[in-house]
Amino acid sequence: MINILVSRAWPKEAENRLISQALGEVTLRHPDTPMTHKEWMEAAKRYEVIMPTVSDKIPAEFYPAAAGKVQVMANYGVGFNHIDIDAARDAGIAVTNTPDVLTDCTADLAMGLMLTAARRIGEGERELRAGKWIGWRPTHMIGKKVTGATLGIIGFGRIGQAMAKRAHFGFGMKVVFQDAWTVPDDIKAASGNATQLGSMPEVAAACDFLSLHCPGGADTYKMINADVFAAMKPGSILVNSARGDVIDEDALFAALDSGHLAAAGLDVYHNEPALDQRFQSYENLVLAPHLGSATNGTRAAMGHRAIDNLTAFLTGQTPSDLVS
């Protein structure tokens, strides 16, 4: 009998399907808390299948301990920088993820962060709830116009393209972007005639809003640094719905302190959920608790996608979302 561990609570619809498919003996961890180091090391010897999430902290010692036992990590989420892919490969563990199904909702959230930061909606709500609003006046809560502005995108995969379409076709924005791959003309045209530029500083210098849609990991760690912030136009706004570790947070705070960066809308952070306390000090930061895919349809679809990948793996097929 295959033993299957789901590391965090899923939507009931997806959990029920996993159980009903009878792929193996399923363990659902409730209450929904992070696994401890001890639990990971015990799991390495007990389960053939582990279905982790993007918030899991998997210890390095897990992988050699799991060699010969754990066959596959069917990840619940598109991002997989919490999994050491090289170590998993060395241990003979296949890895899958769940792309596509969360594209639209993550792009929607990024657009919401951009609008909220630009129009100072969070600041306004806090003022109103505190009973400090004294009424309409010509100079009150002046924000930044979105319609017709230029959006810069770092990372032009599925979510970056979806963001470009929302910005261009919904708000008449010009779109420029940077990505390591040369994007075909038909994709650029479908994404609002987006223009590919050669570097992040070039994109930063050309845009009014900079939105991040790149993967996390060693290659992108703190790549949005002081040089990128310096290249941005004064008064620009940053949006991050990708991964927290792509931003150098010290450089972010410095850009906010100098006034060079007008505001930011953030959904992800270093070491989340243990945020740097400095985040609490800035009224011009819009802070969301990693909600990019947090809609009922999307979170269930992520579970179904993970189950589809697992089903394929256990029946000797190649999963459609095989990472390694």
DSSP state of 148: T
Percentage of residues of the chain with pLDDT beyond 70: 100
In single-letter form, the type of residue at position 119 comes to R
Starting at the edge strand found earlier in the chain, the sheet holding 3-6 runs: 25-28, 3-6, 49-51, 72-74, 94-96
Bridge partners (DSSP) of residue 210 are: 152, 238
Which is the catalytic residue, given 158, 272, 278, 304? 272
Q: Are 323 and 78 in contact (CB under 8 A)?
A: no
What would the mean pLDDT of 139-160 be, rounded to a whole number? 98
From the candidates 120, 166, 213, 290, give the one annotated as an active-site residue: 290
The answer to whether residue 8 is catalytic is no
243 is catalytic: yes
Kindly tell me if the per-residue pLDDT of 31 is higher than 90: no
Average pLDDT, integer, range 101-106: 96
The model's pLDDT over 220-275, given as tens digits with 9 standing for 90+, comes to 999 999 999 999 999 999 999 999 999 999 999 999 999 999 999 999 999 999 99
Mapping DSSP to helix (H, G, I), strand (E, B) and coil, where does residue 39 land?
Answer: helix
- Residue 47 has a pLDDT of 98
* Rounded-to-integer distance, Cα 22 and Cα 115, Å: 45
pLDDT of residue 197: 98
For the cut 90, the answer to whether the pLDDT of residue 286 exceeds it is yes
- Model-level pTM? 0.92
For the chain, domain boundaries: 3-101+296-314, 103-287
Tens-place pLDDT, residues 192-228:
999 999 999 999 999 999 999 999 989 999 999 999 9
CA-wise closest residue to 288 among 135, 66, 33, 115: 115
Q: Which of 120, 166, 243, 305 is catalytic?
A: 243
pLDDT given at position 127: 98
Pick the CATH number of 103-287 from 3.40.630.30, 1.10.3720.10, 3.40.50.720, 3.10.20.30: 3.40.50.720
- Across the chain, what does the average pLDDT equal? 97
Average pLDDT over residues 23-34: 93
- The yes or no reply on domain 3-101+296-314 and CATH 3.40.50.720 is yes
Contact 206, 176 (CB under 8 A): yes
Helix axis angle, 12-20 relative to 296-314, nearest 10°? 20
Q: Kindly report, residue by residue over 42-89, the tens digit of the pLDDT.
A: 999 999 999 999 889 999 999 999 999 999 999 999 989 899 999 999
In this prediction, residue 30 has a pLDDT band, given cuts at 50, 70 and 90, of confident
Q: Which of 69, 22, 34 is nearest to 50 (CA)?
A: 69
In Å, how far from its chain's centre is CA 21? 29
Confidence of residue 278 (pLDDT cuts 50, 70, 90): very high
- Least Cα distance to 214 among 288, 110, 309 occurs for 110
Tally Cβ neighbours within 10 Å of residue 34: 14
Helix (H, G, I), strand (E, B) or coil at 43: helix
For the chain, report the end-to-end CA distance as a whole number of angstroms. 24
Amino acid at 242: A
Residue spans of alpha helices (H) in the chain: 12-20, 37-46, 62-66, 85-90, 103-118, 121-129, 158-171, 185-190, 200-206, 226-231, 249-258, 296-314
